[in-house]
Chains A and B, each alone.
Chain A
Amino acid sequence: MKTENMTLPGPKTGEREKRRSPWWEVWRRLRLNKAAMAGMAVIIVLVVVAIFAPVLAPKDPNQTNMKARLQPPSAEFPLGTDNFGRDMLSRIIYGSRISLYVGFVAVGIGAVFGGIVGAIGGYYGGRLDNFLMRCMDVLLAIPQIILAIAIVGALGTSLLNLMIAVGISQLPRYARVVRASALTVRGQEFVEAARAVGASDARIIIENILPNCMAPIIVQSTLGVAQAILSAAALSFLGLGIQPPTAEWGSMLSSGRQFLRNAPYLTFFPGLAISVVVLALNIFGDGLRDSLDPKLRQ
């Protein structure tokens, strides 16, 4: 939406006049934001850790060792061992895979379906829009985590169901963002032009409406991944998400809870890992929003 303005010729300043894509402009502004760059660096490191987990993890995350139960952090086990003698560092490294995977897929589900709902509502307007938005109100009327719990409860606990539950509970926010953009775009000349040359509605939505909603969707998704990771971890913590023995941060925290007194590191490190990822994503998302819409920055 706002990216449009960026391509307009501004005051002549010599070389800058070269035509650059709006995304390049965004990147230029983003680079100046140190906090956002730090957040991005953390995210990149985490993605690398998740991809190369088998290489990076010092031990097998599921290898139990009854002789080394509940060991405090040491040279051999940098983050200690759990009640089955499994290496916590390796489990946390492997856990990053699940958290990032769940976060991105859940947001993918929410953004795609929410985006479709929002684009259709905003583009067609009228009764259909009204009906779709009331449906979103229904989803919003139930606290997000309660809705996710109910869905997981109905579908059963599995990785896929967890992602579906978290994705559905996030759906309305994407629907609203896309609808708002679609409403502003739909009356503009280029949409009319597309219609005049006989483009179908589906084509107009995909080629004209959606590209103009990308900026808010990207910001919303970045912050959404952070929220999704938190929700998924919360569900696993309640025993309704990823089930043991899979190494997942939320469920590790949950099983470490009973050893809080004697082995606090079992709850400390997984929680720290979740916090770092979510914090990095939020900082990056904030920076991205500022650079996509400089008017918002104060």
Chain B
Amino acid sequence: MLRYFIKRLMFLVPVLLGVSVLIFSIVHLAPGDPAEVMLGPSATQEEISNLREQLGLTKPLYVQYGIFLTNTLKGDLGRSIKSNAPVVEEILDRFPATLTLAVLGMIFAIVVGLPLGILAALRQNTWVDALCSFFALVGFSIPNFWVGLMLMLLLSIYIPILPSSGFDSWRNFIMPTIVLGIQTMAVIARMTRSSMLEVIRQDYVRTARAKGISDRLVLVRHILGNVMIPVVTIAGLYFGNMLGGVVITETIFSIPGLGRLIVDAIRAQDYPVVQGGVLFFALCVGIVNLMVDLLYAALDPRIKAQYRAAR
């Protein structure tokens, strides 16, 4: 198990290195000179070139990348052009809000999506199935920013029971959680349904039924465990997507999180923040995928057995 973990961890390194090259190139392709941005329109040519020198912008690009990479490995992502605060500090400041949102969104997605998919599969080809499946398809298709605005209209304006912005009480989190989780909820429901339909037809389920075990027990003992495996994979894959979704959610509900930090940084051409923020997102996605892999091995004894055999 440990070997498996270490091997998966090693996979993360080249990917993150690739992400750092990619985001560095993207940011440095951008038109507009950071020195000019920092000094504003009133700066003289001399001031600008002095600052460029100071920031190391006159060095060749690969040297700049080398410096960026060494500093990053030391945990230094540079300073924000706008606020002059260390980028790491800015990110860690904003991260708790984003993480809370993403975790709540995932819980919502699983708690609603899983039963919906199970129900649809158990009542296959009935109106219950049609309704659940259509609901999932709608959840997958409507833009989440629109869901957010419509919820706000309904629950903050027409029937004012929930606050439309801020994040100091649990009531602030209800709408953002739904907005963030709705698409993943739909994906999980669809995945659960098709996975259920497959498992229900397996021989071991028929055997269990033939032994006279009650439907309920068959569902809990023999079906759900096997259904969970693909569902966990999908949920894990979508967690990254959901981290991206915070950009929208945070914008709509004015939550000061990581997503808004990046969007604001792009508008302000604050390139160290963009670079650091995107790299941090990739790190989070990588760690989540790693955890999913481990969970996957824990859920599916076949994978663990494979590992034992390989050793």
Q: Which of A152, A264, A272 has the most CB of B within 10 A?
A: A264
Residues of chain B with a CB closer than 8 A to A152's CB: 266
Complex Cα gap A238–B249 (Å)? 11
Asked whether A156 lies within 8 Å of B282 as measured between CB atoms, the reply is no
Complex Cα gap A279–B241 (Å)? 20
Task: Report B15 CB to chain A, min CB distance, Å.
Answer: 5
CB contact between B285 and one of A141, A151, A226 (< 8 Å): that residue: A141
**Residue B240 interfacial (CB < 8 Å):** yes
Complex Cα gap A153–B124 (Å)? 46
**Residue A138 interfacial (CB < 8 Å):** yes
Q: Looking at chain B's contact residues, is the secondary structure mostly helix, strand, loop, or mixed?
A: helix
Residues of chain A with a CB closer than 8 A to B266's CB: 149-150, 152-153, 240
**Residue B245 interfacial (CB < 8 Å):** yes
Asked whether B263 lies within 8 Å of A278 as measured between CB atoms, the reply is no
Knowing A141-B16, A144-B241, the reply to whether A150 touches B141 (Cβ < 8 A) is no
Residues of chain A with a CB closer than 8 A to B278's CB: 142, 146-147, 150
CB contact between B29 and one of A145, A154, A240 (< 8 Å): that residue: A154
Residues of chain A with a CB closer than 8 A to B248's CB: 145, 234, 237-238
Asked whether A153 lies within 8 Å of B274 as measured between CB atoms, the reply is yes
Q: Which of B27, B144, B244 has the most CB of A within 10 A?
A: B244
Asked whether B143 lies within 8 Å of A275 as measured between CB atoms, the reply is yes
Complex Cα gap A226–B183 (Å)? 13
The stretch of A64-72, A192-200, A253-261 that contacts the partner chain? A253-261
**Residue B161 interfacial (CB < 8 Å):** no
Complex Cα gap A268–B145 (Å)? 11
**Residue B146 interfacial (CB < 8 Å):** yes
Return the CB mask of A194-216 against B: 1 if under 8 Å, else 0: 00000000000000000000000
**Could you list which residues of chain A lie within 8 angstroms of chain B, going by C-beta atoms?**
134-135, 137-139, 141-147, 149-156, 226, 230, 233-234, 237-240, 250, 253, 257, 260-261, 264, 267-268, 271-272, 274-275, 278-279, 282-283, 286, 298
